[in-house]
A and B are shown apart, each in its own frame.
Chain A
Amino acid sequence: MEEKSNVSQTDAVTAEPNHKKVREPRFHIVKRDVTDKKTPYIVRAIAVASAFIICTILTVLLVDTNPFEYIGLMLSGSFGTFRKILNLLQKLAILLCISLALAPAFKMRFWNTGAEGQVLIGGLACAACMICLGGVPDALLIPIMAVAAIVAGAIWAVIPAIFKAHFGTNETLFTLMMNYVAMQLIAYFATIWENPKGSGHIGVILDGRFPKLFGQHYILNIIIVILVTVAMYVYLKYSKQGYEIDVVGQSENTARYIGIDVKKVIIRTMAISGAVCGIAGLLLVGGTDHTITPQTAGGQGFTAIMVTWLAKFNPIYMIMTAFLVVFLETGASEVVSKFSDSLNGSYADILTGIVLFFIIGSEFFLRYQIKMNKKQEEMN
């Protein structure tokens, strides 16, 4: 990874070993020394712009539209009406909440791929309260749901953390597998709480639904996620525990050397990660769907991994990266809906994929730069 320069030159030489004159390639790749502050933003802006250009060209080629209509649809799909803006913010809130949950774990280099399951278990605990404690006034029931969801999410995340801390198991696989256990548990409870009988389906639960604020759904969800964002930013940046997470992530040995209890930090951090996932489960079941299925998290536990990575684990940047992902999804689905004859849901994923490919690809150009070789004089 470190020394990429001259790679292409060597390739050129080995490819044509018998040539008399050694041809110099047009360019070579060198590591950037110290990047100034502006360069990363310019590189990323170019990446996003080129991605949108490619998406536009692709769409114009595939369906009968023009670039302006395409861009108009992307924008109107996300911001076209007050309701669309509110829906966008609600989706943003959920994705951001899950991404925030991953931040402390990732910063510690604990690859928590189990957000999906932690969200679902939080949601399941929340749904269990709504079903079994029906009749309890909502003002009391909702705090109980919150506690249950947070505790359940934390437990689900702590199990692999304990194994990692004490037995050195691979946390990526362990957390991933826990997702499927969570999904099956929900499928199991769906047959117990099913309505109507035999359908394997929990209908909307009437108790414990979040109240509307200012006459709108989802406002409470959005407020809660704003608070979580601020809290996570402060925790990671200014608290002693946030510092410990950083040190453990950089080097476990260093952490031990300066007296940090690594096992404790791993377990504690994963408990926090799972607890925030539990909050996301609460927002999904109590604040949005009022029911639960194995698809309630809808793969956002995995999308959040990308959001967190792109933001370099910084909660404030995460607002932007989560917004980008949600904007792409809602905008692209508007395009697909408009041209539903020739496009289907997969096209929205393709467009999102192209944009993310460019953004992730741009990371390469932040670390390395392409140097054009000076024109070689004729060798003979």
Chain B
Amino acid sequence: MFKKILSLLLVVVMCAGMCMALASCSDDDNGYAITPVAKENIKIGLITLHDENSTYDKNFLDAMDAAVASLGLNKDTQLIVKKNIPESDECYKAAAELVDAGCQVIFADSFGHEDFMMKAAAEFPEVQFCHATGTKAHTSTLPNYHNAFASIYEGRAIAGVIGGIKLAELEAQGKLTAANYDADGNIKIGYVGAFPYAEVISGFTSYFIGVKSGYSMAKQMSGSMPTNSVVMEVKYTNSWYDEAAEKSAAEALIGSGCALMSQHADSYGAPTACQAAGVPNVSYNGSTKSVGATTYLISSKINWAPYYELMINAVIGGYKIQDEYCGGFAEGSVQLTELNRDAFLTDDYYNMAVNALKMTDEVEEIFSSYSMTKDGEPIKSYMANVHDDPAFAGDTEVIKTVGEGERAYYVFQESKFRSAPYFDIIIDGIKVPQN
């Protein structure tokens, strides 16, 4: 049995070798070093889009508190937080005021803050500006402007495996109906996404790959070779936070027969709809058990505290800060939150899920030709839009060929050329709205 588990795990985690490359997305050496700051003199600025009432911003605020505490800094005198700063010139104004207040390093948490952080970075070269989820640091000539993200797709994939195990349990317990299958006998699952943006596409694709492998693994472990697989339908809300739209999108997907749901948007809309319909939900950004007592399965999230500590320590020590930071499980940047026993019907499948969580050490090469195809073919070459050029033309070959001849396979190198995701291929088995 153990061998079987191992071989199946390999479907997801095939081969080794890129972990370190992922951890340091960029290593251009421009000799930039900064003046060290005494620890007792360091002052940190943090700009957030909303306040702790938003799960997204709370994640950043909590991480900063944790980082400041772990570094032994005085929160009252060494940290200035500016909340509710919109994605407009207000962000530049807030950053400039933080500089005036003596901050040597300033963080911002929202994608739309990027241009205004860069405006401030150009004006205050002696201050370090660190922006989460942005895409422009690696092409910018500003040495004091930096981006950060996490290889969250790894967390998504593991959370997907848990979802797949749950699907196998539903099937084994006879809880699925004819409506849950498509014409080819594949189980239908649903996903509520915010925008058709690479960050979202990368997230749902890795999740989908995880679900497929988790389902297949669980079926084999319970003694049957699966002949079917999983198909996923995606609905976009075109907003990062729209509780009503997320809820109704989830309800529509559940109504069309989706047996498992997940989402990438910041409200409780989709998890609430899942609990009402009794459909299991793989969550994001943190546990949503409070609204999904028996349907919330697990959640993946980014923990920003390791990144904050690294950057603050770099400023204290005067070390060169890399343009891009992209942490994974190893750095503690990607986390899985509590697995919910109450969402499982049997101990067997629950224990299977508990064991699957141990795969975090080995998860690599999720986007490989073993796990995905496009139009029935492996993806052997893809020019991704890494540099955000205005024409959105692909500019970087991101597929790596591993091995030779018959045994060659192909890997999409996500988050290698910049920290923010750029995987934007709609692979076989996933259905997105056509426009």
Contacts and interface: CB of A to CB of B under 8 A. Distances in A.
Given A198-B195, A293-B88, A295-B86, A83 B238 contact: no
Given A196-B388, A295-B86, A295-B88, A340 B115 contact: no
Nearest to A296: B88
Contacts of A204: 115-116, 119
Given A197-B197, A198-B200, A345-B83, 10 more contacts: A84-B100, A87-B97, A195-B388, A198-B196, A204-B115, A288-B89, A293-B112, A333-B84, A337-B83, A344-B53
Contacts of B111: 199, 201
Contacts of B195: 198-200
B83 A340 contact: yes
Nearest to B200: A198
Interface in B86-100: 86-89, 93, 96-97, 100
Contacts of B52: 344
A196 B135 contact: yes
Contact of B115 (A84, A291, A296): A291
A187 B115 contact: no
Contacts of A289: 88-89
Contacts of A298: 86, 88
Interface string A58-92: 00000000000000000000000101100100000
B421 to A, nearest CB: 11
B82 A337 contact: yes
B19 interface: no
B2 interface: no
Q: Helix, strand, loop or mixed for chain A's interface?
A: loop
A45 to B, nearest CB: 31
Interface of B: 50-53, 75, 80-84, 86-89, 93, 96-97, 100, 111-112, 114-116, 119, 135, 195-198, 200-201, 238, 385, 388, 390, 392, 424
6 contacts: A196-B388, A198-B197, A198-B200, A290-B89, A337-B83, A345-B84
Contact of A195 (B93, B201, B390): B390
A191 B238 contact: yes
Contacts of B81: 337, 340
Interface in A121-146: none
A197 B435 CA distance: 14
Interface in A160-214: 187, 191, 195-201, 203-204
A344 to B, nearest CB: 4
Interface in A247-268: none
B100 A83 contact: yes
B62 to A, nearest CB: 12
Nearest to B196: A198
Contacts of A295: 86-88
Interface residues of A, number: 30
Contact of A196 (B53, B89, B119, B392): B392
A295 B51 CA distance: 17
Contacts of A195: 388, 390
A336 interface: yes
Nearest to B388: A196
A145 to B, nearest CB: 17
A198 B390 contact: no
B352 to A, nearest CB: 35
Contacts of A81: 97, 100
B424 A198 contact: yes
Contacts of A196: 135, 197-198, 385, 388, 392
Contacts of A187: 238
A195 B82 CA distance: 26
A236 B79 CA distance: 49
A103 to B, nearest CB: 26
Contacts of A197: 197-198, 385, 392, 424
A81 B201 CA distance: 45
Nearest to B240: A200
B212 to A, nearest CB: 24
Interface in A280-321: 288-291, 293, 295-296, 298
Contacts of B385: 196-197
Given A195-B390, A344-B53, A203 B196 contact: no
Given A196-B135, A200-B195, A337-B81, A291 B97 contact: no
Nearest to B136: A203
Contacts of A199: 111, 195, 197
Contacts of A84: 97, 100
Given A195-B388, A344-B53, A200 B97 contact: no
Which of A187, A195, A199, A296 gathers the greatest number of chain B CB atoms within 10 Å?
A199
Contacts of B196: 198
A345 B388 contact: no
Contacts of A200: 195, 197, 238
A341 B80 CA distance: 11
Contacts of A83: 93, 96-97, 100
Which one of B88, B200, B390, B424 has the highest number of Cβ atoms from chain A below 10 Å of its Cβ?
A: B88
Given A344-B52, A344-B53, A291 B82 contact: no
Contact of A198 (B89, B96, B198): B198
A203 B115 contact: yes
Contacts of B96: 83
A120 B340 CA distance: 46
A296 B97 CA distance: 21
The 8 residue pairs across chains A and B that have the minimum distance between CB atoms: A198-B197, A204-B115, A345-B84, A344-B51, A198-B196, A289-B88, A340-B81, A288-B89
A345 B115 contact: no
Among A87, A200, A293, A340: residue with most chain B CB under 10 A: A340
A298 B93 CA distance: 15
B99 to A, nearest CB: 9
A344 B238 CA distance: 27
Contact of A345 (B51, B80, B197, B424): B51
Nearest to B98: A337
Given A83-B96, A199-B197, A204-B115, A337 B80 contact: yes
Q: Report which residue of B50, B84, B424 has the largest number of chain A beta carbons within 10 angstroms of its beta carbon.
A: B84
B88 A288 contact: yes
Given A87-B93, A201-B111, A291 B88 contact: yes
